[in-house]
Structure 1
Amino acid sequence: MSDTGVQARRSAIYLLDQILGEGRLMSELLASGALDRLDPQDRARAQRLATQTLRGLERADRLLQKHLRKYPPLTIRNTLRLGTVELCQGEAAHGVVNSMVSIVSQSKRHGQLKGLVNAVLRKIADQGPAAWDTLRIPRLPKWLRVPLVTAWGAEAVAGMERAQFAGAAMDLSLKSANDGLVAELGAEVLPTGSLRLREAGQVSTLPGFEEGAWWVQDAAAAIPVLCLDPQPGERVIDLCAAPGGKTLQLAAAGARVVAVDTSESRMGRVRENLTRTGLSAELRVGDALEQTGEYDAVLLDAPCSATGTIRRHPDLPFAKDGSEFMALFELQSRLLDHAWTLLRPGGRLVYCTCSLLPDEGEVQITDALERLSGAVVEREALNKPGLDPDWITPEGGLRLRPDYWAELGGMDGFYIAVLRKE
């Protein structure tokens, strides 16, 4: 890390300012080039520091409030938060404190507060990691925690919070079975067949990457296609397809795939992965609501709150407040209704969202069954190896949560339902 970490730390503070102050998502910031000027090592470090700080934000604030008579400006608070997280995770006090003081000193707006930063972080350093470890697992913000407790109960939500605080390992989906590659990767085979790497490192240097033997995909995100069970030669349309993991699964199964998404840049990533893996699909940049035709199967991974991905995206609970979700619920219903028109009689539709909110899952299917002519829930499609029957919900969908597979490192939250058109 260059300049004794100053560049990476300054960039991490910028990310925190944008997320906590402007409500921007980390993915949006990275896509806009926020870290492009950094060398790869500093870029990775900045992203990791910001992510760790967001995961530990409540703990950092609890430690800092003992040493602050009033809250300083947001940038200084984020500087102190980042420094606190680093110090409590064992980073050398000298390097952390000097870097943070240097960053503040160079600020025309906040330079006069360098003494405060120096004094507070030295007090935090004196306390050491022991004080950090006595604090509770950080809780989700109330706007998200309250509806989740209502839906799943306090104990389940506490498990979700433990999963978010722990973070997520990297999961891979194999193009085809390959026991030798599994051993070479040192991967753990999960109950549903996905691979999990506890210490992944740089993705492009892993065995099998250049050969296109696998792609990165959370184990939960791979389950919708598992339930769809695509057959060779079937015509399948993947709506809202980017970033493309499910498109690759469908193509690897031998289906004739049409993948649709509104984002040209995100579809570019799908194209790159298809090329790398030697798989093929027809890619369309366009609106899912404007698609026509008749297909053997439809996969609709609808735009949603993404609340199920908090393990790997701890910025989400802080960048959002739930105010835009009603529009998402309405869009999901419209997409579901239109997807139904693309399905041939006897065909099957998988509806899924990476959400923990029943309004985006269970409620959508309950309502859809009253609207859609000839729609029948296929519960038996959810009887797959590795899927607990207790995860099947009363209306016949599959509810996945971050607190499931706790002993294996958790999974993303998802809702999946399979409908057949009679």
Structure 2
Amino acid sequence: MAGQTNKRPVLNLPRQAAVRILNGVMTEHKQLSELTQSDDFQALAPEDRARSQRLATHTLRHVGRADRALRPHLAKLPAVEVLNILRLGLVEIAGLGAPAHAVVNDLVSICAASNQTRPYKGLINAVLRKAVADVTGKWDKSPVQMLPKWLRNPLREAYGNGTIMAIETAHMRGAPVDLTVTGDLATWASTLGGTPLANGSLRLGEIGQISALEGFAEGKWWVQDAAAAWPAAALAVTPGETVLDVCAAPGGKTMQMAAQGGVLTALDISASRMERVAENLARTQLAAELVVANILEWQDPRQFDAVLLDAPCSATGTIRRHPDLPFAKDGTGISELIELQTQMLNATVGRVKPGGKLVFCTCSLIPDEGEVQAENFLRRHKDFTVDTSLPQGMDPAWRTEEGGFRLRPDYWSELGGMDGFYLIRMNRRG
């Protein structure tokens, strides 16, 4: 046609962004939460940001399956940046049912747009088409993504092979959205179409934008995994009790305990994260004193009726909603975290009034960050005893030898699982 010019094809921006995310996780060992704050990512339209994040997280959950299907068609492994394009394409086509022709053509264009990957256009096209043909009808039967050795080995020693495989299956399935509501649970279940859980959380099905749901703007509920809601429930705050929430951001537990009538002091070392707590409290119309400080250096002499310490940890219990974590981390730094947890637990002792109560918890699957910490604390501090009460909805079988509770992603599998967590309540003698 007269006047026609050759133009580079318009790239699918969500796919291109998803490839960038995968490269950032795999080559720079950055976490998805950091990568999605980049200027390039934030410049995308909201719907494109959401789609690219879904594509990237789904691919990360199925890297093992994708690599297993791709390997027979690769004489040798290409650079990670090329491999990530292949992984995303295979996962989107075989796992999400996207039309193969459109996905392959678009990924070839994305490959051609980068000097680093341009020489592999032909490989992307040929390998994807062959691999898709091979896995058609077999994708869901392929073994699930295994945890990396730095994490799988200690967890296998702690829980056994069968449990590790169940946890890995839970990670692959991802995580539904759970809410903590301030009103009647049954009413909100009917309003939002969710499922009430035994511990009082509300589990939602397929949802769109969270902030567009009824009740969000009015602060009637907030997003909080069911497992993460148990530590505050175990503390069992009563109206008028003074409560110190250590490492409070982003504020889910603070809001829980404020809604129970507690007089809250929320403490966190991060000023920026504390701004998030302030925003959440304002939305939910709940009150708490906000303190930006390090519990190890905090000079305030007050003691409290109740203290909750959600200590910094490896976050290995949250992999089902953060599938980038096994790739972005390599296990280094965990011993330092364990030492920090010990120091923080020791620092909370003087904050608990005689006759008061302390809950220690971590979103970790590693016993050294949970059961072992609690055992050592009780050995050091003879004036603390384990509380034997059972929080609402807690299965007695989840109680551990030292008296805490071990929550795992494979629990409630028929309902969609839960985050991995450890928690224990200890009471100080009067």
Q: Which TM-score bucket, shorter chain as reference?
A: over 0.9
Q: Which moved more, 1:131-140 or 1:232-241?
A: 131-140
Q: Matched residues in 2 for 1:249 and 1:34: separation?
A: 36
Aligned pair partner of 2:17 in 7, 11, 28: 11
Q: Deviations over 1:99-119 (max 9, x none)?
A: 100011111222111111111
Change (3 A) 1:403 1:210: same
Q: Deviations over 1:113-156 (max 9, x none)?
A: 11111111111232353132231122111111111111011111
**1:30-45 aligned within 5 A:** 30-33=36-39, 35-45=41-51
Aligned pair partner of 1:106 in 110, 113, 116: 113
Paired letter, 1:371: R
Shift of 1:397: 0.5
Q: Deviations over 1:9-66 (max 9, x none)?
A: 1111111111111211111222455510111111011111110011000000001101
Q: Matched residues in 2 for 1:309 and 1:77: separation?
A: 26
Q: Matched residues in 2 for 1:157 and 1:200: separation?
A: 29
**1:147-166 aligned within 5 A:** 147-166=154-173
1:126 aligns with 2:133: yes
Shift of 1:265: 2.1
**1:370-409 aligned within 5 A:** 370-380=379-389, 383-409=390-416
Aligned pair partner of 1:352 in 361, 364, 367: 361
Paired letter, 2:45: D
Q: Matched residues in 2 for 1:181 and 1:51: separation?
A: 29
Q: Deviations over 1:267-298 (max 9, x none)?
A: 22211111111111111122122233211110
Structure 2 partner of 1:300: 309
Q: What percentage of aligned pairs have identical amino acids? A: 52
Q: Which moved more, 1:175-184 or 1:257-266?
A: 175-184
Structure 2 partner of 1:315: 324
Aligned pair partner of 1:251 in 252, 258, 283: 258
Residue-pair matches, total: 418
Q: Which moved more, 1:133-142 or 1:269-278?
A: 133-142
Paired letter, 1:235: T
Q: Deviations over 1:178-222 (max 9, x none)?
A: 532220101100111100002121101111111111000000000
Q: Matched residues in 1 for 2:374 and 2:40: separation?
A: 39
Q: Matched residues in 2 for 1:195 and 1:298: separation?
A: 26
Shift of 1:5: 6.3
1:324 aligns with 2:333: yes
Q: Matched residues in 1 for 2:244 and 2:227: separation?
A: 20
Q: Which moved more, 1:369-378 or 1:320-329?
A: 369-378
1:197 aligns with 2:175: no
Q: Matched residues in 2 for 1:412 and 1:218: separation?
A: 7
Q: Matched residues in 1 for 2:221 and 2:136: separation?
A: 38
Structure 1 partner of 2:294: 287
Q: Matched residues in 2 for 1:299 and 1:31: separation?
A: 30
Structure 2 partner of 1:55: 61
Q: Matched residues in 1 for 2:39 and 2:202: separation?
A: 31
Structure 1 partner of 2:31: 25
Q: Matched residues in 2 for 1:346 and 1:29: separation?
A: 46
Shift of 1:232: 0.7
Paired letter, 1:306: A
- 1:288 alignment partner, SS class: coil
- 1:260 alignment partner, SS class: strand
**1:185-264 aligned within 5 A:** 185-264=192-271
Structure 2 partner of 1:81: 87
Structure 2 partner of 1:71: 77
Q: Matched residues in 1 for 2:252 and 2:323: separation?
A: 21
Paired letter, 1:392: R
Q: Matched residues in 1 for 2:100 and 2:135: separation?
A: 9
Q: Deviations over 1:312-349 (max 9, x none)?
A: 01111111111110000000000000011111101100
Q: Is the 8 A contact 2:69 2:135 kept in 1?
A: no
Paired letter, 1:142: K
Shift of 1:95: 1.2
Q: Matched residues in 2 for 1:378 and 1:178: separation?
A: 27
Aligned pair partner of 1:115 in 95, 98, 122: 122
Shift of 1:242: 0.8
Long gaps (5+) in structure 1:
none
Change (3 A) 1:341 1:5: farther
Q: Matched residues in 2 for 1:110 and 1:78: separation?
A: 11
Structure 2 partner of 1:268: 275
- 2:356 alignment partner, SS class: strand
Long gaps (5+) in structure 2:
1-8
Q: Is the 8 A contact 1:298 1:350 kept in 2?
A: yes
Aligned pair partner of 1:92 in 93, 99, 108: 99
Q: Matched residues in 2 for 1:134 and 1:189: separation?
A: 31
Q: Deviations over 1:68-104 (max 9, x none)?
A: 0011111101010000101102110111011100011
Paired letter, 1:268: E
TM, length-normalised to structure 2: 0.95
Paired letter, 2:355: G
Q: Deviations over 1:146-177 (max 9, x none)?
A: 11111011111111111101000000001132
1:339 aligns with 2:348: yes
Compute the RMSD of aligned alpha carbons: 1.3
